[in-house]
Structure 1
Amino acid sequence: MGKLSGKVAWVTGAGSGIGQAAATALAGAGARIVLTGRRVEPLQVVADGIASSGGEAIVEPGDLTVSQTVSAIADRIGERFGRLDILVNNAGLNTRLRRWDQLVPEAIDTVLAANLSAAFYCTAAALKLMRARRDGVLIHTASWAGKFIHPVSGPAYTAAKHAVVAMSQSLNMEEYGNGIRSTALLPAEVATPILDTRPVPPDQQERARMLQPDDLGDLILYIATRPASVCLNEIVISPTWNRMYQL
């Protein structure tokens, strides 16, 4: 029996990178996984990989910037499983247009919606299921940019991730009486596909020295398996080779 046997985890941005690693790690500990992202195909690959290892995963694709879509997915989770124990709020993106002299309203809206509005919608939907059981763990992939101002991430992404950290702190202020714990996860550079949207994407040698998705998957599993009496409010993690001190 795994540490998470009988529990249900909803992982967003689950088709690649941190989301894929988190889903695989949580499934390996016995959790049943709900995989959400915009594209069905990569989600199905992750689900098939979990199934081949003896786990259980279902695919619930959708655009999480649409509140009605989020609510419908959460309703189906409740109908199918009758519970939700873990939310990994991981969906997000960035734009190549990162400087104030480049930003246009469409880019601003896209970044804020994907990184902040979607996180709020998923959290609000998850809380309805968690409050019913007076238990739950919320894990939000923020960013190093959620704590430190740095030009690499751009102002829209940085502002959104700062807000996600504030959102997580407010959850712990309001929901501790319901047994619900929230963790803001703030990684520095991680070798995931989001790096491809940088104005100058890092090369493979640089990516090899960054945090890897499995590093975050292992950490998310650790957070999810803490006793109900423990709340890890905020975790800042970086590779030893941390270019954020220099860039």
Structure 2
Amino acid sequence: MQSFAGRVALVTGGGSGIGRATALAFARKGAKVVVVGRTHETIEETKEMIEHGGGEAIAVQADVSVDGQVRSMVQTAVDRFGRLDFACNAAGIGGKLAPVAEITEDEFDSIVSINLKGVWLCMKHQIGQMQMQGGGVIVNIASVNGLRGTPQAAVYAASKSGVISLTRSAALEYAQSNIRINAVCPGAVLTPMLGQVFHTTGITKQQYRTRIPQGRIGKPIDIAHTVIWMCSDEASYITGHIMTVDGGVSAG
């Protein structure tokens, strides 16, 4: 796969899990990386990991649900590196596991603000920059839960369904601007969010593995590799696509 030397990648949710793995993967391909997250310590740690590997990165603290912070995030990337070629919008939260009638309005608003509004705001400002420079690639992280009903996580699933529809619509709107927009729908991946599910439900990793045709839970790098490929020229004829990466779960 091609080198990303001279290119600039921005990754939200870059302090852990899929976001961190993707930021590190971009750096290994030679891209300069803008690591974005709400927690200063974790994004600084990702930045230091990139630098330790010989890469170049900056850490930008931002809440993706706040327009001004997202606008500043993109501007900081451009001020530092001169352009924005790739964006992976991975920031997200799972929220409380509970039936629909037991979710509070504040809990609903929190999930939708980060998972859906956050992706919209990120794309809004990323697209503006990419239009000015003649193109770019955006990959949004959705979820297999956005493709089906998910008991005890209806609002999370709804937010990820929204990301899928937002991705498809934006891809159609900006295809002629040389901006490709796709989404990845991970299944079970070993992240802090899945750890919270194990803790809350009492389900063990071994029990979870039995649900997956490949017999293993995904790793963050599995998703990162998919994002990198979607950003490469090898995927240049792909836009508006929703890529499921779940070990075969959704095939059944």
Q: What TM-score, normalized to structure 2?
A: 0.90
CA contact (8 A) 1:95 1:197 kept: no
Alignment of 1:26-41 (within 5 A): 26-41=26-41
| Cα distance, 1:136 vs structure 2 | 0.6
* Aligned twin of 1:19: 19
Residue 75 of structure 1 deviates from its aligned partner by: 1.4
Query: 1:219-239: CA deviations, max 9, x gaps?
Result: 111111134742251211212
Q: Which residue of 2 aligns with 1:112?
A: 112
SS of 2:201 mapped into structure 1:
coil
**How far has the Cα of 1:204 moved from its partner?**
4.2
Q: List gaps (5 residues or longer) in structure 2.
A: 210-215
Q: Which amino acid is the alignment partner of residue 213 of structure 1?
A: P
Among all aligned residue pairs of Structure 1 and Structure 2, give the percentage whose two residues are the same amino acid.
Answer: 30
Cα deviation for residue 202 of structure 1 reads 4.2
Q: CA deviation at 1:243?
A: 9.1
Q: 1:207 to 1:32 in 2, by over 3 A?
A: farther
Any stretches of 5+ residues in structure 1 without a counterpart?
none
Deviations 1:2-55 (A, max 9, x none): 611111000000111100110111110000000011101111111111111111
Cα distance in 1 for residues equivalent to 2:7 and 2:144 = 30
Tell me the residue number matched to 1:222.
229
Partner SS state of residue 60, structure 1: strand
Q: Partner of 1:142 in structure 2?
A: 142
Could you give the per-residue CA deviations for residues 150-176 of structure 1, whole angstroms, max 9, x where no partner exists?
A: 215x11111111110111111111101
Indicate how the Cα distance of structure 1 residues 227 and 239 shifts in structure 2: closer, same or farther if over 3 A, else same.
closer
> How far, CA to CA, are the matches of 2:251 and 2:193 in structure 1?
16
In the alignment, does 2:171 pair up with 1:172?
yes
Under a length normalisation based on structure 1, what TM-score does the superposition of the two structures give? 0.92
For residues 56 and 106 of structure 1, what CA distance do their matches in structure 2 show? 38
- Which residues in structure 2 correspond to 1:1-247 (within 5 Å)? 3-151=3-151, 154-198=153-197, 199-200=200-201, 202-205=203-206, 209-227=216-234, 229-232=236-239, 233-240=241-248, 242=249
Deviation at 1:205, TM superposition (A): 3.6
8 A contact 2:229–2:235 mirrored in 1: no
Cα gap change, 1:202 to 1:140, in 2 (>3 Å): farther
- Contact 2:135–2:177 (8 Å) recurs in 1: yes
Contact 2:50/2:57, CA 8 A, preserved across alignment = yes
The CA RMSD measured in Å over matched residues stands at 2.0
Amino acid across the alignment from 1:170: S
Runs of 4+ aligned structure 1 residues displaced above 4 Å come to none
Q: 1:229 to 1:220 in 2, by over 3 A?
A: closer
